[in-house]
């Protein structure tokens, strides 16, 4: 069905003079509520995406609807409750992404024809609602900003898929640009290094090494041509050079595996266990693949993996916050957006 912008809105946009440019920050997504029904709705949308689970055949549908959506929402809801922003009644990912959009909008406030909004690929606010809002404000050009430093089909590409689906329903489409992955961008590597250097002096201990943990991916996806693993490696190598560390002091691991298939290795949880058993007593973990703290960083790393490390003999563990809406983090987003808006503003 073709989406039509109301005539009144179109008239207001035309009367405003200079057409506006929209910037839409997009992150992965979050349940609307930290309970089983809310998580079930979110997981249903997320795990029904063929970019995330490529084989959406009958067997997967039986597993998804007959097993996963019956049991997993209850356990994941408990995890969300551990990190939930109770003041706003929303996940930290939603709180932080909103703040990133607000701060970017403030940074671009001297350009009154630029409008900044935000959306989630899964859950709310949806990409559909974000694009509709920008068009309603008179934007005839839109820059979509997937907040993933490293490209993968299951993150960056599925944002593009959804943006294209929304635009396909429009008779009068805005012109579209999409920011590229920024896994070795100088501003991004510098921000990571700055955040690590700022965090370590706040600790009561000196880490023996740092683990860089990235979200995992089935190995078969990489074998088919996904560049995600090579991007993670490149990020880690660039960060090592910036910090003056080698691969014994800054380790690369992959977290959040799901199902029985082989995923990218080394696994974060197994590495935590091995390091502790090998006599490492103090570590810090940074999560460079996440632009904002979320369930995977605040619960899986800061709580779950900390417990694994300490249970096997480790003594001190610290999770370094994501770049979030910090000054270095906003420098990255602002640099990326202004670069891609050249010729439009």
- Token duo for residue 86: 């109770």
- Token duo for residue 244: 């003056």
Residue 313 is inside which H or E element, if any? none
CB 315 within 8 A of CB 282: yes
Backbone φ and ψ for 117, nearest 5 degrees, come out as: -140, 180
Spatial separation of the C-alpha atoms in residues 229 and 209, rounded to whole Å: 22
Beta bridge partners of 29: 122
CB 30 within 8 A of CB 294: yes
How many C-beta neighbours within 10 Å does residue 200 have? 15
180: alpha, beta or left, given left = phi > 0 and alpha = psi -120 to 50? beta
Say which DSSP state 263 is in: B
CB 228 within 8 A of CB 288: no
Spatial separation of the C-alpha atoms in residues 334 and 337, rounded to whole Å: 5
C-alpha pair distances (Å), 11 with each of 8, 112, 337: 5, 18, 28
Spatial separation of the C-alpha atoms in residues 70 and 139, rounded to whole Å: 42
Spatial separation of the C-alpha atoms in residues 231 and 112, rounded to whole Å: 36
By CB neighbour count within 10 A (0-12 exposed, 13-18 middle, 19+ buried), where does 174 fall? middle
Spatial separation of the C-alpha atoms in residues 184 and 177, rounded to whole Å: 20
Does the annotation flag 296 for ligand binding? yes
How many C-beta neighbours within 10 Å does residue 244 have? 9
Peptide bond into 322 cis (omega under 30): no
Binding residues for Fe(2+) are 215, 296
Q: Which residues are annotated as a binding site?
A: 215, 296
């Amino acid at each position: 069905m073709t989406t039509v912008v109301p005539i009144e809105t179109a008239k207001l946009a035309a009367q405003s003079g200079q057409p506006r440019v929209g910037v839409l920050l997009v992150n992965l997504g979050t349940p609307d509520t930290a309970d089983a029904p809310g998580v079930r709705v979110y997981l249903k949308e997320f795990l029904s995406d063929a970019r995330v689970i490529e084989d959406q055949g009958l067997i997967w549908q039986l597993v998804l609807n007959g097993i996963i959506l019956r049991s997993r929402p209850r356990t994941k809801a408990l995890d969300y409750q551990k990190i939930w922003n109770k003041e706003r009644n929303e996940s930290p990912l939603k709180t932080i992404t909103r703040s990133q959009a607000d701060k970017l909008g403030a940074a671009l406030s001297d350009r009154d024809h630029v409008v900044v909004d935000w959306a989630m690929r899964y859950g709310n606010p949806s990409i559909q609602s974000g694009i509709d809002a920008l068009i309603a404000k008179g934007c005839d050009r839109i820059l979509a900003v997937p907040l993933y430093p490293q490209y993968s089909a299951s993150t960056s590409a599925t944002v593009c898929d959804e943006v294209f689906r929304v635009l396909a329903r429009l008779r009068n489409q805005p012109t579209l640009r999409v920011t590229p992955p920024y896994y070795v961008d100088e501003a991004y590597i510098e921000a990571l290094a700055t955040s690590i250097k700022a965090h370590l002096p706040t600790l009561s201990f000196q880490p023996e090494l740092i683990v860089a943990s990235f979200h995992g991916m089935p190995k078969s996806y990489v074998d088919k041509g996904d560049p995600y693993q090579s991007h993670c490696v490149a990020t880690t190598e660039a960060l090592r050079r910036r910090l003056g560390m080698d691969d014994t002091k800054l380790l690369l691991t992959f977290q959040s595996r799901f199902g029985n298939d082989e995923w990218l290795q080394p696994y974060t949880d197994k590495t935590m266990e091995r390091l502790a058993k090998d006599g490492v007593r103090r570590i810090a973990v940074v999560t460079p693949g996440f632009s904002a703290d979320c369930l995977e960083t605040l619960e899986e790393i800061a709580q779950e993996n900390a417990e694994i490390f300490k249970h096997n003999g480790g003594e001190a563990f610290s999770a370094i916050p994501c770049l979030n809406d910090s000054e270095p983090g906003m420098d990255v987003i602002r640099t990326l957006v202004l670069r891609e808006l050249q010729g439009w503003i």
